[in-house]
Amino acid sequence: MATVMRASGSPAVAASGEEIGPDGVRQPGGEAHAWLPGQNQTVCGLALSRTRLRRFPHVRFDYSGTDVLTETDTVGWICSRCLAATTGRRGKEKHGWARNSPRP
């Protein structure tokens, strides 16, 4: 009987590089993508083996569209397609935008 590995609900990080943090734990660096553990591709569809992205199952992909990356950050770029796929919509709204001042 074959066992099936389920993908967890919260995405982790797959990155092009890695750095060792001050506590001795691997941290993502370079380009960051969202990845569901148990799958062989990122959320945006890149194959992990072909793109040579490293997996970081212990680091959650909790970036937002308003994050500002500086020179001191190890991650230099966050995939916009992965970001859009993981953030979703705001509440129960039909559109991703909200009308602030509707016409009379």
| pLDDT per position as a tens digit, 73-87 | 888 888 989 998 888
User: Where do the domains of the chain lie?
Assistant: 12-87
Place 93 in a pLDDT band, splitting at 50, 70 and 90: low
**Measured between alpha carbons, how far is 22 from 31 in angstroms, rounded to an integer?**
21
Confidence check: pLDDT of 7 > 80 = no
Report the SS3 class of residue 57: strand
Q: Which of 84, 77, 88, 85 is nearest to 32 (CA)?
A: 77
| pLDDT per position as a tens digit, 14-63 | 999 999 888 999 999 889 999 999 999 999 999 998 999 999 999 999 88
**Measured between alpha carbons, how far is 63 from 101 in angstroms, rounded to an integer?**
30
**Measured between alpha carbons, how far is 65 from 16 in angstroms, rounded to an integer?**
20
